Amino acid sequence: MKKIDEYQGKKVLVMGFGISGINAAHLLVKLGANVTANDKATPKKNDIVDDLEADGIKVITGDNPISLANEGFDVVVKNPGIPYDNPLVAAFVKQGTPIITEAELGWQIFDGHLVSVTGSNGKTTTTTLTQLMIAENAKHQVKYAGNIGISFSKIAEDLGPDDTLVTELSSFQLLGAPTIHPHIAIITNIFSNHLDYHKTRENYINAKLNITRNQTKDDFLVINWDRDEWQKIAQRSQATIVPFSRLNKSHEGSYVEDGMIYWRGQEVMPTKDIRLIGPQNVENALAAIAAAKLSGVTNDAIKKVLTTFSGVRHRLQYVMEYQERLFYNDSKSTDIEATEVALQGFDRPVILLAGGLDRGYTFERLVPYFKKHVKAMIVFGECKDKMKDAGNQAGVPVVESENAITAVPEAWKLSEPGDVILLSPANASWDQFPSFEVRGDKFIEAVEELTGKKEQ
């Protein structure tokens, strides 16, 4: 951990009691700050408040009182999910109070080698693969943190100058990380996500590009080269560009040619040996390979990881095989693009479980994928009628169900040996579940109940 004194004696407000917010509050006390912690909700567990207060932190819960804007805070550390049009946040913006996220605080105390990953899809898998590959050859600590569910600042406290940290960073986190400076940055792809938060696609892109804002020609931006738009976006970085591509050959980075993965013209391994299924995971592997090779990782280490790693939970996760049916949990597919990609990964008939929060859009884009890959659909949630319309357009049998749990036995009734039963909702979970993780866990529990087996 790097020693810094910029928070010594400063008055800091931490907004949000998530894992990152609680860790940030305790860290700021160690850094000499006078800390107030605020959450709009009242925690169900009293020990959260007790632990904060025991560390000398003033705690305010049950509201974001606008009066806090008049208490002279020097800095606000905001939970990334709290929007900037929140009245209290907006008041701080208006008066010019610096607003950062916990990722920025983590960067400020980090004293090692930073690799950071962002993108619309594939972030967590790419982060995990990158960390595993670098760790395979490393003589020092290699950890991961960030949007992957582990506090950046908490891990950074325990790492030294020779250690490596691979961080997954969301657009929300990057908006509040003005000085972050990874030596290697990765952009997996950019679609039109989170526009309810960012308002416009350009705002969303700009937030993503904060990952490379402070990079120089001595740093590297690893970026997907499969779309012209992403190639143009790369031109906005000062870093050395390292492309990765499943579709376009480029000797400057990692790419696929005739079923073989190459790094700068040298063979690495066949794509068929990657344990993860689907074209999206070839792209994730290519991104991780580029970062790993830039970090000095050997081909043998890369092969070991890619031939053994079976996936991140909820991200096209293989659950089990039962009576010649394969079950997959892709609850993290909360948008149309992710479900498109998931369906392309299978060469077997798919029973698709889909639906969720109605964000106002329809699903005509999925019709060609339904026609090609889907045998039958089970739909649920607020947008089930819209999902059903798309299924009908594709000529696919559609059954309505209450949710992702009740959909499992319905899917089983429609399945035959050789089929895939896939939860890939194409929608957020918040109409019925608090998170995509809970939705995926409940799906797995339903599969286990149906089969009498535990996930593999």
Whether residue 70 has pLDDT greater than 90: yes
Cα separation, 23 vs 120, whole angstroms: 26
Whether residue 250 has pLDDT greater than 90: no
Q: Which of 57-71, 175-189, 306-320, 343-357 has the lowest mean pLDDT?
A: 306-320
Cα separation, 196 vs 83, whole angstroms: 10
The β-bridge partners of 421 are 327, 351
Beta strands in 56-189 (DSSP E): 58-61, 75-78, 99-100, 113-118, 142-146, 164-168, 184-187
Tens-place pLDDT, residues 372-425: 999 999 999 999 999 999 999 999 999 999 999 999 999 999 999 999 999 999
Work out the average pLDDT over 130-144: 96
**Mean predicted lDDT score pLDDT of the chain:** 95
Angle separating helix axes 46-54 and 19-30, nearest 10 degrees: 10
Cα separation, 311 vs 329, whole angstroms: 10
For residue 122, what are its two tokens? 């594939």
Q: Which of 17-21, 42-46, 169-173, 413-417 has the lowest mean pLDDT?
A: 42-46
Tens-place pLDDT, residues 348-369: 999 999 999 998 989 999 999 9
Domain ranges of the chain: 11-100, 103-308, 317-451
Please tell me the predicted confidence (pLDDT) of residue 310: 81
The β-bridge partners of 36 are 13, 58
Whether residue 45 has pLDDT greater than 80: no
Cα separation, 303 vs 354, whole angstroms: 34
Cα separation, 131 vs 142, whole angstroms: 7
* Alpha carbon distances (Å) from 165 to 254, 271, 418: 22, 27, 41
**DSSP-assigned states of every residue in 312-367:** -TTSSEEEEEETTEEEEE-TT--SHHHHHHHHHT-SS-EEEEEE----S---GGGH
Record: fold of 317-451: Protein-Tyrosine Phosphatase; Chain A (3.90.190)
Tens-place pLDDT, residues 26-38: 999 999 999 999 9
Cα separation, 80 vs 93, whole angstroms: 15
Give the N- to C-terminal CA distance of the chain in Å, as an integer: 38
Please tell me the predicted confidence (pLDDT) of residue 43: 84
Pick the more confident residue, 248 or 433. Answer: 433
Whether residue 193 has pLDDT greater than 90: no
Closest CA to 415 of 387, 440, 447: 447
Work out the average pLDDT over 91-96: 97
For residue 378, what are its two tokens? 């089970």
Work out the average pLDDT over 149-172: 96
Per CATH, the architecture of 103-308 is what? 3-Layer(aba) Sandwich (3.40)
Percent of the chain at pLDDT above 70? 100
Rg (C-alpha) for the chain, rounded Å, is: 23
User: What's the CATH class of domain 11-100?
Assistant: alpha beta
pLDDT band at 192 (very low <50, low <70, confident <90, very high): confident
Closest CA to 126 of 305, 304, 273, 266: 305
Whether residue 315 has pLDDT greater than 80: yes
Contact 285, 276 (CB under 8 A): yes
Please tell me the predicted confidence (pLDDT) of residue 197: 85
Please tell me the predicted confidence (pLDDT) of residue 121: 86
pLDDT band at 428 (very low <50, low <70, confident <90, very high): very high
Whether residue 179 has pLDDT greater than 80: yes
pTM score, whole prediction: 0.82
